[in-house]
Amino acid sequence: MLVLVAPGQGAQTPGFLTPWLDLPGAADKLAAWSDAIGLDLAHYGTQADADAIRDTAVAQPLLVAAGLLSAAALDAGSAFGAVAGHSVGEITAAGYAGVLSETDALKLVRTRGLAMAEAAAVTPTGMSAVLGGDRDTVVAHLEKLGLTPANINGAGQIVAAGTMEQLAALGEDKPEGAMKVVTLKVAGAFHTHHMAPAVATLEVAAKALSPADPSLSYVSNKDGQVVASGAEVVARLVGQVANPVRWDLCMETFAELKVTGIVELCPGGTLTGLAKRALKGVPSVALKTPDDLEKAAALIAEHAA
């Protein structure tokens, strides 16, 4: 079985969408999405600098648009047996699985990004990745510092979220066994209680949606379980912004599903990197530019059956 995965916030880099817009129909599709959500996605994906695309309200719709564009370019039909996304990538996954239309996915993520940016503006907060160390030891250390283990990613990576003061304390006092602490390019303590106001906003937005049941196995960040109901997928998307991402459990489910290949949508690299350490021997392809489509097609041809 093949699984398609979509990255989360922080994967974006200046100009990363430029080569994708040369593909047939891509620029027109992006323009239509831009009109639908009131955000110039082409500008932010091709011309804006790192600070501009770090803005949560910009980064999130940009990432979902990039994921859906690269999925369309992949043109894999029914080759994938499962789909999952990391954090905001779950909305990309919902769009790919047919739970939401592409336009509804972009509208929802635009609302999500604005709401989370507003929540993040209340208190200066951020996130840092802790690399290495025993999971339970790291989690206990973070909680001692008042931080939340917001992303438990597996493969020796846990992302801490909290106030800037708490993160500074973490930088000076790493958990026992941890190799290093890396500050992430995000503008808030996502997946923590700091995002509670955004949940209320998304609850309202979700009422306007008419979700369909996913067309393939949808693996949820909440607990790594496969969710078969479109309404349940949307409910989890709403609650997800203030609760931890359990990507480690998603990868455990991939193993249980006997996944034999992984393709990561644009801007790929983060999730395939984790998979190489946690799912050793499972081949993967990260879509960074359209040049990677040929490698992905070869992997699909080999493993889709």
For the segment 121-169, what is each residue's pLDDT rounded down to a tens digit? 999 999 999 999 999 999 999 999 999 999 999 989 999 999 999 999 9
Q: Determine the pLDDT at residue 305.
A: 56
Tell the residue number behind the tokens 């990391």, with chain if given: 86
Residue 185: per-residue pLDDT: 79
Does 85 have pLDDT greater than 90?
Answer: yes
pTM of the model as a whole: 0.95
d(CA 58, CA 63) in angstroms, rounded, equals 9
Q: Is residue 193 classed as helix, strand or coil in its secondary structure? A: helix
Distance of CA 25 to the CA centre of its chain: 24
Please state the rounded mean pLDDT for residues 261-268: 98
Q: Which of 34, 70, 87, 284 is catalytic?
A: 87
Sheet holding 125-131, edge to edge: 148-154, 157-163, 125-131, 180-183
pLDDT at 171 over 70: yes
Contact 86, 245 (CB under 8 A): yes
Query: What pLDDT, in 10s, does the model give residues 1-60?
Result: 999 999 999 899 999 999 999 999 999 999 999 999 999 999 999 999 999 999 999 999
Residues of the chain with CATH 3.40.366.10: 2-121+192-303
Contacts of 156 (CB under 8 A, 6+ apart): 131, 132, 133, 277
Question: To which CATH superfamily is domain 2-121+192-303 assigned?
Answer: Malonyl-Coenzyme A Acyl Carrier Protein, domain 2 (3.40.366.10)
Tell me if residue 141 is catalytic: no
Judge: domain 125-183, CATH 3.30.70.250.
yes
Q: Half-sphere exposure of 146 toward its Cβ, with a 13 Å CA cutoff?
A: 10
Q: Which of 191, 217, 220, 303 is catalytic?
A: 191
Q: What are the residue ranges of CATH 3.30.70.250 in the chain?
A: 125-183
303, two tokens: 């493993």
The reported pLDDT for the residue numbered 304 is: 74
Known active-site residue 193: no
